[in-house]
Chains A and B, each alone.
Chain A
Amino acid sequence: MENQEVMRMEEAKKISEELNEKYEIDRVAGLIKDNKIAFTHKEDEYRVRLLTQKDKDDLDMLRRKKFGQLLQDKDILLEKDLIKIYKERGIDISEIDDKINKINTEMHSKQLKLGESLSKDSDKSILNTYKNEIKDLINQKGALYLQKSGLLEFSLEKQLEYFTIKIISYLSLQIKKDEIFIRAFDDIDKFLNADDELIEKTVSYSLTINYQI
């Protein structure tokens, strides 16, 4: 009897997981159709949508302004200057790039071999050997990319990219007032001073819909 109950619970859990999966797929399929993500935050209704042409003009203006500010800040280095300093301290970014290129070449060659093996319907063990080798190369490449982006995180270019993501988020966020959606914040500074949870949600949803520029 107890066994039956355990099996019933396991079955219920499985059905619930399948329903969640179906819900998620339907949700994303809906997003693809209309490019809007609605959410509630502290009882207010928000949505993030695709940027309009007017928003893109505002984005361009705000980004240029930020670029000018960053350029005047002597503490923020351009990527090429940062790379030069790293090299003087014994960290060669071009070596990381070389390693990435080498991995890409090796991966490409293995992918071609695997592709050919698949077309010939080769033995499962051959396919899995290639698969595991490629998987390993993907992981190695990922680690190198992570290392490189970590080193260049404070470059002017990266700072501008991070700020651009915030501008896109600010421009795409709307709040429902009197049954219509309007821009949630009057200016970018007010958006940046909003609470962290709202900013985090907006950035994540906004990047889902809009291109990362």
Chain B
Amino acid sequence: MNIDNRIKQIAKSQEHQSLFSISKELSNIKLFYNDTDLSRLQMIYISYLFYYHNIYMDIDMKKVSKRVLDNEIFEDAYSIWKKEGKEDNTSKPKKDISLVFSRSKKRK
């Protein structure tokens, strides 16, 4: 396993996800010894922390099942689909419905 995959594995772990959540809440909890000038490793680590944080949030909110974590292809596909706003499109009301709504509001 190469180092980038290892970082992905670390960022996916519950331990590091908890550390990430705590560090967002408490400013005295730091992820790294350095505050600025992040290394390549640290940038990869942070981006994966966010990546898995979003997936775990969706699992908690029952937007997707835990199966998404079965493999990287599932994880990537779900994240891309979500990023493209496909999820929002399915829940958004259709244009003509919003027009009817605004007209009825006017009458009021």
Range of interface residues on chain B?
35 or more
Instruction: Knowing that A28-B3, A111-B77, A131-B71 touch, tell me 5 more A-B residue pairs with CB under 8 angstroms.
Output: A35-B34, A115-B77, A118-B77, A127-B74, A135-B73
Given contacts A29-B10, A111-B76, A127-B67, contact A116 B86 (CB under 8 A): yes
Least CB distance, B87 to chain A, in whole angstroms: 7
Q: Which residue of B lies closest to A117 (CB)?
A: B77
Check: B64 CB closer than 8 A to any chain A CB. Answer: yes
Q: Which residue of B lies closest to A110 (CB)?
A: B77
Q: How far is the CA of A115 from the CA of B74 in the complex (A)?
A: 7
Contact B86 A28 (CB under 8 A): no
Which of the listed residues A50, A115, A127, A209 has the most CB atoms from chain B within 10 Å of its own CB?
A115
Least CB distance, B52 to chain A, in whole angstroms: 15
Q: Which of A34, A115, A121 contacts B81 (CB 8 A)?
A: A115
Least CB distance, A173 to chain B, in whole angstroms: 15
Which of the listed residues B78, B79, B86 has the most CB atoms from chain A within 10 Å of its own CB?
B78
Contact B3 A118 (CB under 8 A): no
Given contacts A112-B81, A127-B74, contact A118 B64 (CB under 8 A): yes
Residues 52 to 108 of chain B near chain A (Cβ within 8 Å): 63-65, 67-68, 71, 73-74, 76-82, 84, 86-87
Which A residues touch B1, using CB under 8 A?
Answer: 24
Contact B40 A112 (CB under 8 A): no
Mask, B16-42, CB within 8 Å of A = 1, is 100000000000000111100101111
- Ordered by A's residue number, 22 sampled pairs between the chains whose C-beta atoms are within 8 Å are A25-B6, A25-B10, A28-B6, A31-B41, A33-B33, A34-B33, A50-B39, A111-B76, A114-B73, A114-B77, A114-B78, A115-B79, A115-B80, A116-B81, A116-B86, A118-B64, A118-B65, A118-B77, A118-B78, A118-B81, A131-B74, A210-B40
Check: A208 CB closer than 8 A to any chain B CB. Answer: yes
Residues 131 to 164 of chain A near chain B (Cβ within 8 Å): 131, 134-135
Given contacts A28-B10, A121-B65, contact A208 B41 (CB under 8 A): yes
Which B residues touch A114, using CB under 8 A?
Answer: 73-74, 77-78, 81
Mask, A62-106, CB within 8 Å of B = 1, is 000000000000000000000000000000000000000000000
Mask, A108-132, CB within 8 Å of B = 1, is 1011101110110100000100110
- Count of residues in A whose CB is under 8 Å from the partner chain: 31
Least CB distance, A103 to chain B, in whole angstroms: 15
Q: Which 5 A-B pairs have the closest CB atoms?
A: A115-B81, A114-B77, A111-B77, A115-B77, A35-B39
Q: How far is the CA of A35 from the CA of B74 in the complex (A)?
A: 31
Contact B67 A118 (CB under 8 A): yes
